[in-house]
Amino acid sequence: MSGQGRGSISSKDLADLIGVNPWKIRKDFSYFGYFGIRGVGYEVDNLSKQIKKILKLDVVHKAALVGVGNVGSALLMYPGFGMYSFDIAAAFDNNPKKVGRKIGNVVIGDVSNLRPLRARKIKIGIIAVPHYAAQDTADKLVEMGVRGILNFSPRYITVPKKIKVITIDIAMDLARLPYYMPSC
Amino acid sequence: MSGQGRGSISSKDLADLIGVNPWKIRKDFSYFGYFGIRGVGYEVDNLSKQIKKILKLDVVHKAALVGVGNVGSALLMYPGFGMYSFDIAAAFDNNPKKVGRKIGNVVIGDVSNLRPLRARKIKIGIIAVPHYAAQDTADKLVEMGVRGILNFSPRYITVPKKIKVITIDIAMDLARLPYYMPSC
């Protein structure tokens, strides 16, 4: 809406977009001390800025990708990360044919040396390696100071409690469909 | 566990694996009329079969992929779908250079003709096209009898109420990380 030049939005319109009740919108924002203007609603630019701040998306986050196979390559080319202030600033693979190659803005490094993560203060790791290498990769990322991991490998990984892991299992997302589909 | 030859598992072990309370495991299964054996727990093979049945994953589901770019190619090569009885049985693109090419087991068809979906009774569509083509693709899939859509395009799509849509926004998943990461 900001890109479309819209100045303000009511809690009702916001609620309709998301599919919740307007009072829930107003209540949730009020928790953060943010209140709309009666009869006008919320200023779009300011609201967007506040939400980004709440979600800690008001600064650019550098991420390092480990594993530049099909999934990893797709991630490197994916244009959507910028929208949330993410920057895949480094990528690593164990295939000598891939090391040194440039994909997007990133030159692929050798996975046996992840020390650049520490030097460059990269705190987010993305695991896109085969499942049998996932735990080892996670261990190395944590060792290099990573605090959050996005795991594309269909394998639970174990990390110290203070590290946040989000696992994306595309097959499992697909598997949710039939349950909700009418009679098939 | 089935693959590892494990015969049974207790509700406690299951609960520990998932991170919930054992009574929740027992209660949830009991809703489906499925009860473990006291002192033994649940038979792994039978439990797995029952859960697949509940989730409607006891039959193979054919899916059609539209858009064979970076994300689409990664999906075609992804080995994890078989685990949930999914089969990407058809793929389509609008690029004449891609049409006719074979990726994995699938020959890419021309997106201007999605009629094979109806003929082959494919009820699941996967949208991996650029965002501006997402809604049009969804409309065509629904027209061809698709009842469930997995949407990889970062765009809300509008479909009739009876159609189930699951949107996967990888950037948004990544964006969830900083909020939960300790002080960074």
Residue A139 included in any domain: yes
Please tell me whether residues A28 and A98 are part of one structural domain: no
Check CB contact under 8 Å for B164 and A171.
no
Q: Which of A130-139, B1-10, B26-35, B172-181 has the highest mean pLDDT?
A: A130-139
Check CB contact under 8 Å for A80 and B184.
no
Distance from C-alpha of B66 to C-alpha of B127, rounded to nearest angstrom = 5
Please tell me whether residues A108 and A131 are part of one structural domain: yes
Nearest chain B CA: its distance from A139 CA (Å): 17
Residue B134 included in any domain: yes
At A10, list the tokens: 């009511």
Reported ipTM: the value is 0.73
Q: Strand, coil or helix: what is B87? A: strand
Nearest chain A CA: its distance from B136 CA (Å): 20
Please tell me whether residues B12 and B69 are part of one structural domain: no
How many other C-beta atoms can be found within 10 angstroms of the C-beta atom of residue A9? 18
pLDDT at position A80 over 80: no
DSSP conformation letters of B89-100: EEEEES-TTTTT
Which candidate from B70, B80, B173 shows the least CB-CB separation from A73?
Answer: B70
Please tell me whether residues A92 and A161 are part of one structural domain: yes
Return the CATH number at A122: 3.40.50.720
The average confidence (pLDDT) of chain B is 89
Distance from C-alpha of A171 to C-alpha of B57, rounded to nearest angstrom = 12
Check CB contact under 8 Å for B63 and A174.
yes
Residues of B in contact with A117 (CB under 8 A): none
The answer to whether B86 contacts chain A (CB < 8 Å) is: yes
Please tell me whether residues B76 and B160 are part of one structural domain: yes
The answer to whether B123 contacts chain A (CB < 8 Å) is: yes
Distance from C-alpha of A64 to C-alpha of A70, rounded to nearest angstrom = 16
Residues of B in contact with A150 (CB under 8 A): 173-174, 177
Is the pTM higher than 0.80? The answer reads no
Residue B104 included in any domain: yes
Domain total of chain B: 2
Average pLDDT estimate for B41-57: 89
The average confidence (pLDDT) of chain A is 89
Please tell me whether residues B39 and B66 are part of one structural domain: no
Which candidate from A80, A169, A173 shows the least CB-CB separation from B166?
Answer: A173
Please tell me whether residues A69 and A25 are part of one structural domain: no
Q: Strand, coil or helix: what is A55? A: coil
Nearest residue of A to residue B72 by CA position? A74
- Worst-scoring range by mean pLDDT, A110-114, A139-143, A147-151, B54-58? B54-58
Q: Sheet containing A164-167: which strands, arranged edge to edge?
A: A102-103, A106-110, A86-93, A61-66, A124-127, A148-151, A164-167
Residues, chain B: 184
Please tell me whether residues A88 and A106 are part of one structural domain: yes
Cα-flanking dihedrals φ and ψ of residue A6, to 5°? Answer: -80, 130
pLDDT at position A52 over 90: no
Task: Give the residues across from B91 on adjacent strands.
Answer: B65, B108
Residue A41 included in any domain: yes
Please tell me whether residues A48 and A110 are part of one structural domain: no
Please tell me whether residues A147 and A82 are part of one structural domain: yes
Check CB contact under 8 Å for A174 and B74.
no
Average pLDDT estimate for A93-110: 94
Residue A1 included in any domain: no
**Chain B interface test: which of A52, A88, A170 (most B C-beta within 10 Å):** A170
Do residues B90 and B120 lie in contact, with contact meaning Cβ atoms separated by under 8 Å? Answer: yes
Nearest chain B CA: its distance from A175 CA (Å): 6
pLDDT at position B184 over 70: no
Which residue range(s) make up the domain with B167? 61-171
Residues of A in contact with B63 (CB under 8 A): 174
Please tell me whether residues A38 and A127 are part of one structural domain: no
pLDDT of residue A183: 62
Query: Which amino acid does the sequence have at B25?
Result: I
Residue B177 included in any domain: no
Distance from C-alpha of B147 to C-alpha of B162, rounded to nearest angstrom = 7
- Worst-scoring range by mean pLDDT, A95-104, B58-67, B75-84? B75-84
Residue A162 included in any domain: yes
Residue B14 included in any domain: yes
Please tell me whether residues A73 and A157 are part of one structural domain: yes
**Chain A interface test: which of B103, B121, B177, B184 (most A C-beta within 10 Å):** B177
Check CB contact under 8 Å for A171 and B78.
yes
Residues, chain A: 184
pLDDT at position A184 over 60: no
DSSP conformation letters of A70-138: HHHHHHHH-GGGGGGTEEEEEEEES-TTTTT-EETTEEEEETT--HHHHHTT--EEEE-S-GGGHHHHH
Helix pair angle (A70-77, B70-77), 10° resolution: 170
